[in-house]
Amino acid sequence: MGSITRPQILLHSYRPSLKPSSSSSSSSSSLPLFRKLPISLFSSFPKLSTPTVHPRTFSSNSNSISNSNSISNSNSNSIVGDLLDYLNEFWTHFHATAEAKRQLISAGFHVLDENEEWDLKPGGRYFFTRNMSSLVAFSVGEKYNVGNGFHVIAAHTDSPCLKLKPKFVSSKADYSMVNVQTYGAGLWHTWFDRDLSVAGRVIVRSSSNSYVHRLVKVKRPLLRIPTLAIHLDRTVNQDGFKPNLETHLLPLLSMKPGEISSGSALSSKASHHPLLMQILSDELNCDVDDIVSVELNVCDTQPSCLGGGNNEFIFSGRLDNLASSYCALRALIDSSESPGDLASEHAIRMVALFDNEEVGSDSVQGAGAPTMFQAIKRIIGSLESKYVGEGSFERTIRQSFLVSADMAHGVHPNFMDKHEEHHRPELQKGLVIKYNANQRYATTGITSFLFKEVGKIHNLPIQEFVVRNDMGCGSTIGPILASGVGIRTIDCGIAQLSMHSIREICGKEDIDIAYKHFKAFYQSFSEIDKMLTVDI
């Protein structure tokens, strides 16, 4: 969850390293009218089936770290084990998007190219990526008619982190160091004294003198940002640790700047450290000079795992917001998997995963771009088989509903006064609906009612959150998307602690609850939306 203020490049598909790794209706009344439906309607809602257990195989240099705390594959009622594997393997927004692409293809979704004409069919399942850091996937109900709504869950793939500067070579006192810049509003003191490495994407020159997009992840610890010894900073515990983000946050790479292993080729790029470039070329199984561009994050190498006395917690980086992204993705795949899943669906089910939320969403791959709404227009246009009358897009938007899924602030037991006393979400108690009278969240009384009905019908718990009046409030992609086109929106999320730390905490059960709630939303919302009439 970030603090929001308010030429497209299509690259080759993700390729793993060639070198083996070591590791509605409306009403004239001014008040909403609740239209009661017969009990028989609710019996027609599909029951939440046990989530399909997909084999935990990954398309990248997969070398999942064995963890005795990991969820057993035999526990078919939980997706937590799959989430842990996902977090352990996919350290960056690029990797997470590439894995989402792989899972969608494996589930039978068809890849679309934004540069090509789309030929869509009712009952079809499709997706496209942009910048390999954002993705839109959707499944078309077999009873869809143009003008029917889209049911969307939107999340983001990025997290606060350190990124390498374009000229990242640096040296001080005979140490080789790496120049970094801060991305988002991270708790930067948590990055000190951690075993760090790099991951991201590079552009590589191929043998045919063309260029390809490659993902890279160096699994072993390469970098470390050491803190100053207390003997040299005697007042740190009294005055607080206040590092200068430009001069104190440079990671150490090695001793003796410029020295690399015997026999290694020197990089021709003076702005890039030759040792790190050699390490990247070894991972990619290519020559150093064939690497023409790098876009790398600094990443923590400690694996995600279960923790706590009863293994009730998930300890991991990047829970904000890959946990939401993964639950939404799996909910779409699993609610559209069987031949009959879309047989009676009148709407289109969609997931949208955006980049750059942590820095305001104003980018071609962020929620501030018209990506999702352009996609909706194109989908409508492709599915128009006959004249459908005026305002098909506008009618579609008015019948659509967006769930903005981003992590939420669970109450901290040591800082309970930071929460409004009647709105203190707890871990393991279900999704948190976020409210803000000043529209930092897009939730309204109407949208919260409808989303709570999903949980009520399927016996799923819900919590509520508002920030204290004497504290500032963060925001999400919800208000951006809601105001961009006028789609009904709710902001919700999984409660967590240590948000924006290098190491975050959430409840294990909340992952499964979120997955079930999102899946229930896809399966049930078409019928639930008929229950309430507004604006006639």
Q: What is the pTM of this model?
A: 0.85
Give the per-residue pLDDT at 139: 98
CA–CA dist 518, 403 (Å, integer): 9
Cβ distance 184 to 2 under 8 Å? yes
Give the per-residue pLDDT at 334: 97
**At which residue do the structure tokens 């951690």 appear?**
194
Q: How many CA atoms lie within 13 A of 114 on its CB side?
A: 20
For residue 183, what are its two tokens?
């991305």
How high is the pLDDT of residue 269? 53
Domains in the chain and their CATH numbers? 79-159+317-384+392-531 (3.40.630.10), 161-231+239-257+269-300 (2.30.250.10)
CA–CA separation, 286 and 281 (whole Å): 5
For residue 426, give the amino acid letter.
Answer: E
The per-residue pLDDT for 245 is 96
CB atoms within 10 A of CB 432: 25
pLDDT of residue 310: 97
pLDDT at position 46, please? 47
pLDDT of residue 389: 77
Interval 252-288: pLDDT, tens: 999 975 454 444 444 445 678 899 999 999 999 999 9
Task: Give me 343's structure tokens.
Answer: 């047989």
**Residue where the block lists tokens 């239209």:** 35
Query: Residue 7: what pLDDT?
Result: 35
Q: How many residues does the chain have?
A: 536
Beta strands across the sheet bearing 175-183: 211-217, 196-205, 291-300, 161-172, 175-183, 252-255
Rg of the chain over all Cα atoms, to the nearest angstrom: 24
Distance between CA atoms of 225 and 320, rounded to whole angstroms? Answer: 23
**pLDDT tens digits for range 477-498:** 999 999 998 999 999 999 999 9
List of the chain residues with pLDDT < 50: 3-47, 49-75, 258, 260-268
pLDDT confidence of residue 209: 80
Write the DSSP string, 197-245. Answer: EEEEEEEEE-TTS-EEEEEEE--S--BB-PPPPGGG-TTHHHH-----T
Those residues whose C-beta lies under 8 Å from the C-beta of residue 135, and which sit 6 or more positions away, are: 97, 100, 101, 127, 128, 129, 157, 351, 352, 353
Give residue 2's pLDDT. Answer: 57
Please say whether the beta carbons of 431 and 514 come within 8 A.
yes
Helix locations, 418-476, DSSP H: 445-457
